[in-house]
Amino acid sequence: MTAVRSPLFISNAKVFATGSQLNRPDVEARLREAVSRPLVTVVAGAGYGKTQAVYSFLQECRAIKIWIQITEFDNFSEKFWENLTGAVAVHNEALAAKLNSIRFPESPRQYEQFFALIKREMSSEPKYMIILDDFHLINSKPILRFVERTAAERTGNICLILISRTQPDINVIGLLSKGLVSQINEEHLRFSRDDTGRYFKMKGFSLAPQALADIYSGTGGWVFAIMLIELSLDNGAWNKEYALSAMRSNVFRLIESEVFAPSSAELQKFLVKLSLIDHLSPALLLELCGDESLITQMRKISSFIRFDAYTGVYRIHHLFLEYLRLRQDMLSDGEKKDIYIRAARWCAQGGNNMDAIVYFDKAGDYGGIAQCAYPLTRMTPSRVAKFLLDIFDKMPADAYRENTELTIIKIKLLQNLALFDEAEALAKAAAAEYEALPRTADNCWFLSECYLHLGYIGIYTALHTDVRDHTHYFKLGHDYHMMSGRISKGPRERTLISSYVSRVKYPANRGDLQRGIDEFARYAGYAITVKNGMMQGVVELAECEAAYFQSDIKKAEALAYQAIASAHDAEQFQVENRALFFLLRINLHMGNPERLRSVLEQLEAQLSNMEYLGGYTLYDITCGWFYAHIRQLDRVADWLKNDFEKSELNTLLYGLEKLVQAKCFLVNKKYYAALAALEGQNGMYGLEAFLLGKLEVSVLRAVCKYNAGD
């Protein structure tokens, strides 16, 4: 018996033939009907051809195909969003940029932004097919919720296809009852007896009916097992005892005998090296081996390794990958470290800093981690901050001594997680240690960073500690920075404004508000010099805020324009937004509709800057306050008109949304709902912890009670 071989590959139990594919009309018809709904689940164990079925169907499907190969690391919503937007960018860079600007939706407002965007951008033909392969690896509640809500929303011309070994942990029953989901399972994907015969005939084998019966009964239509038997047929005639017993007893043994052992020693080692990493880009593979001949040899193992045209990377069948990982003892520790470092550097060059950090950590290259993590940590999402902090906590003491940036990064991470006591203790201990060392350029830079971060920590904690030595720390930071000889340049750091600019606590003493502004004036100049414009415009903004609450409207207006002019050139987006907020309130007070329209246009224009992170949320809050005040609730974002208790907004930076929500309830004469919205604002960072917040909340609460007859 002879056979004419065509190259093929498997991915998650799917046989792909690069030259020819087995036509399965029944499966294709089922998929064609399934994609008329917003969600399709393709659920079966390993080896049932899930990916093959979807892949083959999509070849003839007129749609934009966005294929994402899921890994365990995608449980970080930031990484999942990065993969999704990267896949979207292949087809529509502008849409990917807009998705990046709103970030992964978790808060009600972010979901509203996301659904509005896809309704606007993805409603026309052709259909968008978003395929999430290996979805069983996802256990993140926010991502599961995102998939469920996207399907349930029925917004845009989108179909989500989940390829999974287990039933996805989403409310499939609820979606089924609404007719929003189609399900494809193992029974639908098994090869029938006829499929099995046609497959072998397609591969050039003419098998006797009994041989086909033996194969079908022995495999149960399991595509992967049928493929393995095909490999054994390529090496000789049909041998029922050999093929079926080997398949049943140990799939790895077949991989060993049919794939690994016949490969050259160089290819074997190269394949084992690939099992150390996740992202098999052609460019990275060439970087790792430096020899295209090895990649050419690898392609011949197309039964287990395929090139994914949707994502532009190679995929290794998961069973083959497990086998290769069992062979990692072929590599020395030095060889493993070399692969991790090469992969990390390649990821870092491509901007995939999280992947790079993981690989540098495996290699024990802490200097590499420092280079990647330093720009990540300013307002890093809390889940990522916790993940990074775990890595930092496990580092040996020598790593911190050899890479001083690591200490600064850890201080930032602790601040991000509001662990201010730990951050302060670490910064003070590090500064004390380096004060005793010679004043070298590097030591001065390190001292500068320690003191500047002590200043930042003081800004947040002063609201409760009454310790106000920020200027002292900022001056030390500035002086040591000048001694270091380093020049401030990008990436630019930006001021983050909390609910009130002046962090004066309630109750306050006479003159505290002005003393707070004077503090800004003393230390902001140091930060502007050292941090490339950070805090530019903050002093003018603080003075504007004070003048407004003291009813000096003309002075407040002039200062608001000064703050905008100062902040705009330095890209201090939040400072500019807050100054525009006061201009809204001022022109509303003065009854100037033309200027109000101009301010609203400026607020909207800010959103065009993709570096303005969190801009949509601040825009909604700012405009929401205005529209609630003039009783145009239909123009207030929906998330601000509903119960906000489940919001995940950072309490260190937000709070004014509570005033907007209460105003909306007040307009609708839901006085007790408004009072409920204002409850709990006397906490550590609630609105009533601030002097100005206490004033606004008290007045609004009084108005609600008066109208309620209380």
- What's the rounded mean pLDDT across residues 302-328? 78
Higher per-residue confidence, 290 vs 703: 703
Residue 242 has a pLDDT of 54
Residue pair 402/366 in contact by the 8 Å Cβ criterion: yes
- What's the rounded mean pLDDT across residues 633-655? 70
Helices 366-373 and 353-363 pack at an angle, to 10 degrees, of: 160
- What's the rounded mean pLDDT across residues 266-276? 93
Residue 15 has a pLDDT of 37
Residue 117 has a pLDDT of 87
168/148 Cα distance (integer angstroms): 10
Side chain identity, residue 438: P
Residue 297 has a pLDDT of 86
- What's the rounded mean pLDDT across residues 574-602? 94
Grouping H, G, I as helix, E, B as strand and the rest as coil, residue 65 is strand
- What's the rounded mean pLDDT across residues 267-275? 93
**Range in 24-28, 32-36, 573-577, 683-687 the model is least confident about:** 683-687
pLDDT higher than threshold 90 for residue 564: yes
Higher per-residue confidence, 469 vs 143: 143
pLDDT, tens digit (0-9, with 9 covering 90-100), for 356-394: 999 999 999 999 999 998 876 555 777 888 899 999 999
Dihedrals φ, ψ of 66, to 5°?
-115, 100
pLDDT higher than threshold 80 for residue 224: no
Task: State the chain's mean pLDDT as an integer.
Answer: 84
Cβ-Cβ contacts under 8 Å for 170 (sequence gap 6 or more):
144, 147, 148
- What's the rounded mean pLDDT across residues 59-84? 88
pLDDT higher than threshold 70 for residue 11: no
The model's confidence at residue 683, banded by pLDDT at 50, 70 and 90, is confident
- The helix (H) or strand (E) run that includes residue 542 is helix 538-549
Residue 244 has a pLDDT of 58
Residue 2 has a pLDDT of 30
**Range in 285-299, 463-477, 596-610, 667-681 the model is least confident about:** 463-477
505/692 Cα distance (integer angstroms): 8
Residue 18 has a pLDDT of 34
- What's the rounded mean pLDDT across residues 339-349? 92
Percent of the chain with pLDDT over 90: 37
Percent of the chain with pLDDT over 70: 88
Residue 416 has a pLDDT of 83
Structure tokens at 173: 């029953």
Residue 232 has a pLDDT of 65
Higher per-residue confidence, 304 vs 441: 441
Dihedrals φ, ψ of 570, to 5°?
-95, 5
Structure tokens at 706: 């008066």
Higher per-residue confidence, 220 vs 435: 435
Residue pair 42/53 in contact by the 8 Å Cβ criterion: yes
The model's confidence at residue 275, banded by pLDDT at 50, 70 and 90, is very high
Are β-strands 313-316 and 305-308 bridged in parallel, bridged antiparallel, or unpaired? antiparallel
Side chain identity, residue 44: A
- What's the rounded mean pLDDT across residues 208-224? 76
pLDDT higher than threshold 70 for residue 249: no
Report for 315-329, 529-543, 649-663: range of highest mean pLDDT = 529-543
Higher per-residue confidence, 368 vs 489: 368
128/159 Cα distance (integer angstroms): 6
pLDDT higher than threshold 80 for residue 471: yes
**Range in 9-13, 66-70, 103-107, 330-334 the model is least confident about:** 9-13
The model's confidence at residue 323, banded by pLDDT at 50, 70 and 90, is confident
Report for 208-212, 477-481, 615-619: range of highest mean pLDDT = 477-481
Measured between alpha carbons, how far is residue 260 from residues 270, 275, 293 in Å?
11, 14, 17
Side chain identity, residue 513: L
Region of 42 on the Ramachandran plot (φ > 0 left; ψ -120 to 50 alpha; else beta): beta
pLDDT, tens digit (0-9, with 9 covering 90-100), for 510-535: 888 888 888 888 888 888 888 888 88
pLDDT higher than threshold 70 for residue 113: yes
Closest CA to 100 of 120, 119, 80: 80
Residue 274 has a pLDDT of 93
349/372 Cα distance (integer angstroms): 10
pLDDT, tens digit (0-9, with 9 covering 90-100), for 613-634: 778 888 999 999 999 999 999 9
674/666 Cα distance (integer angstroms): 6
pLDDT, tens digit (0-9, with 9 covering 90-100), for 116-138: 888 888 877 788 899 999 999 99
Residue pair 42/12 in contact by the 8 Å Cβ criterion: no
Grouping H, G, I as helix, E, B as strand and the rest as coil, residue 69 is strand
pLDDT higher than threshold 70 for residue 302: no
Region of 271 on the Ramachandran plot (φ > 0 left; ψ -120 to 50 alpha; else beta): alpha
Residue 245 has a pLDDT of 54
679/648 Cα distance (integer angstroms): 17
539/517 Cα distance (integer angstroms): 7
The model's confidence at residue 202, banded by pLDDT at 50, 70 and 90, is confident
pLDDT higher than threshold 90 for residue 418: no
The model's confidence at residue 248, banded by pLDDT at 50, 70 and 90, is very low
pLDDT higher than threshold 50 for residue 6: no
Closest CA to 637 of 676, 663, 610, 608: 663
pLDDT higher than threshold 70 for residue 492: no
Residue 7 has a pLDDT of 27
Cβ-Cβ contacts under 8 Å for 536 (sequence gap 6 or more):
495, 528, 566, 567, 569, 570, 572, 575
Dihedrals φ, ψ of 39, to 5°?
-135, 135
The model's confidence at residue 645, banded by pLDDT at 50, 70 and 90, is very low
Dihedrals φ, ψ of 439, to 5°?
-85, 65
Structure tokens at 359: 């690989």
Residue 646 has a pLDDT of 47
Residue 677 has a pLDDT of 87
Burial 447-467 (b: 16+ CB within 10 A, else e): bbbbbbbbbbbbbbbbbeeee
pLDDT, tens digit (0-9, with 9 covering 90-100), for 430-456: 999 999 999 999 999 999 999 999 998
Residue pair 664/640 in contact by the 8 Å Cβ criterion: yes
Structure tokens at 615: 């801009």
